[in-house]
A and B are shown apart, each in its own frame.
Chain A
Amino acid sequence: SQQGEEDPQALSIQEGENATMNCSYKTSINNLQWYRQNSGRGLVHLILIRSNEREKHSGRLRVTLDTSKKSSSLLITASRAADTASYFCATDERDDKIIFGKGTRLHILP
């Protein structure tokens, strides 16, 4: 099953700009995680935010979580060419499943 919906599906921005990606989900969760995936490669864990947290920072990453709206956002500040990748949110559901969103393909233009 697939429950997360990322928005936008694809995003192209100039290097140095900020990139914002959103994720919505449908059920109750324990936590929500964001991952990056370069083409043809495995997943890189970026950040985990628990259901009782509202915001979390890690370097150039800022994640918010609104459990009332069942949504999360990932902000990458001062984007770099190396940030070009697909980004996925994954919800850790109460029934012990980890469900991924459809992902956002981010392309940083030089």
Chain B
Amino acid sequence: GAVVSQHPSRVICKSGTSVKIECRSLDFQATTMFWYRQFPKKSLMLMATSNEGSKATYEQGVEKDKFLINHASLTLSTLTVTSAHPEDSSFYICSARRGSSGNTIYFGEGSWLTVV
């Protein structure tokens, strides 16, 4: 069964609103979680690395104020897309690392965001 749960799997929101996507590790503590974005027929682009109890590390070109990441506990990281625009429509996937660097990572099932 899934060890990383992502919710919601699909969400439609209106332009200008904010939407939150949750990523939970179900049976392990995840010090580090990763958020990716994927456009149709493209690969996964790393947006940010989320570390429990500290600020997320964003990749170059990713707007911190646009994509708010909170990793408040060892089992939950959230991605909030603020003031969403149609160009934010995409597939967002999270992953969680079990333990320290080099250990196994697990991916959520992804969340389809459509901004209308």
Contacts and interface: CB of A to CB of B under 8 A. Distances in A.
Interface string B33-46: 01010000111111
A99 B34 CA distance: 10
Given A42-B93, A88-B44, A96 B59 contact: no
B41 A100 contact: no
Interface residues of B, number: 26
Interface string A17-54: 00000000000001101010000111101001000000
Most A CB contacts (10 A, CB to CB) among B46, B49, B109, B110 go to: B46
A43 B4 CA distance: 12
A43 B36 CA distance: 12
Interface stretch (B20-28, B82-90, B98-106): B98-106
B105 A98 contact: yes
Contacts of A40: 91, 112
Contacts of A99: 46
Nearest to B36: A100
B49 A42 contact: no
A78 to B, nearest CB: 27
B101 to A, nearest CB: 5
Contacts of B97: 96
A30 B102 contact: yes
Contact of A42 (B32, B101, B102, B108): B108
Contacts of A102: 42-43
A43 B107 contact: yes
Interface of B: 32, 34, 36, 41-46, 49, 59-60, 91, 93, 95, 97, 101-102, 104-110, 112
Given A41-B109, A92-B102, A97-B34, 6 more contacts: A1-B46, A42-B93, A42-B108, A98-B95, A102-B43, A103-B43
Interface of A: 1-2, 30-31, 33, 35, 40-43, 45, 48, 88, 90, 92, 94, 96-103, 105
